[in-house]
Amino acid sequence: MKRIHEELKKLATSSESENPSVTRILYTKEDLAARAYFIALCEAEGLTILVDAIGNTFARWQGTQPELPAVGTGSHIDAIPLSGQYDGTVGVFGGLAAIRYLKSIGFVPTRSIEIILFTAEEPTRFFIGCLGSRMLSGQLQPQAAEKLADKDGLLLNEVRTKAGFTGDLNGVVLAKEYYHAFVELHIEQGPRLEKEGLDIGIVTKIAAPSSLRVKLIGEGGHAGALLMPIRKDAGVAGAEIMLAVERIARESASEDTVATTGIFDILPRAVNSIPKEAYLEIDLRDTNIETRNKALSDLQNEIAAICKRRNIQYTIEMVNCDPPAICDEKIVNVVESVTNELHYTSKKMVSYAYHDSLFMAQLFPTTMIFIPSKGGVSHRSDEYSSPNEIEKGVLVLALTLKKISE
């Protein structure tokens, strides 16, 4: 089990940015090198490798009854610019470490156990998160995927083909009978486990994410020549919308409602020029789809009112509006029984970040296992989970997979 720490360090060298940060964008040479490294390790353990048309990579330990639906685990290895070494990677390489452990104790599974390296959990390249798992679950249709373009205007099919993934996208979606269950090991990416001194988080719900792009068109002009009563300032309208985002989330009937304006840009960005355009990207999520949708509706109405009052033209693009996931009670109970048997401290908790498991849960009984994140930090170069915390997570995953696959 100790090998995982050196493997994560080596994986981190496949990066566009210098240590300790990691930048690994979909279909770049760094991404392809990281994939090749993982595949080589899996093949050395005798696992069977399958790669689909979008790049989702499956590494299977065949059970004694391979005709039965398999038990799945895994996560992602892509990394946003200047992020850390543990997001996603602990789940992928932890799955391999779990299989090694089970082999070391002489266990032979009845159901096959399979690791998935999901393609592009991060939205960095094509501006949509969980690209691979969306397609596996049927939440993103091939026709829509083919229209995706990166910041340089390159279409998904062109980029994936150049990277060596040339199959038919229609073959990516999985049948509902493919997995008996799916369990993802992941760092918490928040402070709760560390603050409470707990070893393991057992996820019961994954929040429903949605995101919007808002474009505002006003009228620019000289900052000194246009008096305040006649202005159509797109920047000020954007600022008011940004405050409305925060207020609507705070006033929601659900304590789980969170909203963030992650991008706010204006043009022409000159100190003596009134902003004629503004652009916002807004993330809004909740564990309850009804309160999430109400907050979305309230926000859209607020944007309309602000723009009407300020004589601003606007467009709203709904980028995604995904359902929440309720984790399977039986699988949650298995994880809980394993943590109790190991005498680890744990709690049941909600994942407010969304993961590939959100989409796997649309098809299969699913849960997630969280380990502590130092300081609650993630998506930064100082993201950290200790070797001891990782090994505890791997052991819980291994024994959970054992129970489910017997």
CA Rg value for the chain:
23
Task: Read off the DSSP letter of residue 266.
Answer: E
For residue 208, pLDDT over 90 is answered with no
Q: Give the list of residues 6+ apart from residue 195 with CB closer than 8 angstroms, or none.
A: 376
- For the cut 90, the answer to whether the pLDDT of residue 209 exceeds it is no
At 220, the pLDDT band (50, 70, 90 cuts) reads very high
Whether 73 has a pLDDT exceeding 90, the answer reads yes
The bridge status of strand 70-76 relative to strand 113-118 is parallel
* Residue pair 315/214 in contact by the 8 Å Cβ criterion: yes
Give the CA count within 13 Å in the CB-facing half-sphere of 95. 33
Which has the higher per-residue pLDDT, 209 or 17? 17
Phi/psi-derived region of residue 350, left when phi > 0, alpha when psi is between -120 and 50, beta in every other case: beta
Summarize the confidence of residues 198-221 as an average pLDDT.
96
The answer to whether the beta carbons of residues 354 and 207 sit under 8 Å apart is: yes
Q: pLDDT at residue 2 above 90?
A: no
Per residue in 130-167, pLDDT (tens digit) is: 999 999 999 999 999 999 999 999 999 999 999 999 99
Domains and CATH numbers, the chain: 3-207+324-405 (3.40.630.10), 209-321 (3.30.70.360)
Q: Is the pTM of this model over 0.85?
A: yes
Asked if 316 contacts 213 with a C-beta cutoff of 8 angstroms, the reply is: yes
Query: In angstroms, how far is CA 97 from the centroid of its own chain?
Result: 22
Mean pLDDT across 382-406: 98
Contact call for residues 320 and 128 (beta carbons, < 8 A): yes
What count of other Cβ atoms lies within 10 Å of the Cβ of residue 10? 12
Q: Which of the four pLDDT bands, split at 50, 70 and 90, describes residue 402?
A: very high
Backbone angles phi, psi at 12, to 5 degrees: -65, -15
- Residues 356-366 have a mean pLDDT of 97
The pLDDT value given to residue 354: 85
Mean pLDDT of 243-257: 96
Q: Is 77 helix (H, G, I), strand (E, B) or coil?
A: coil
C-alpha to C-alpha distances, 74 to 58, 233, 343, nearest whole angstrom? 9, 48, 25
Query: Nearest 5°: phi and psi at 229?
Result: -65, -25
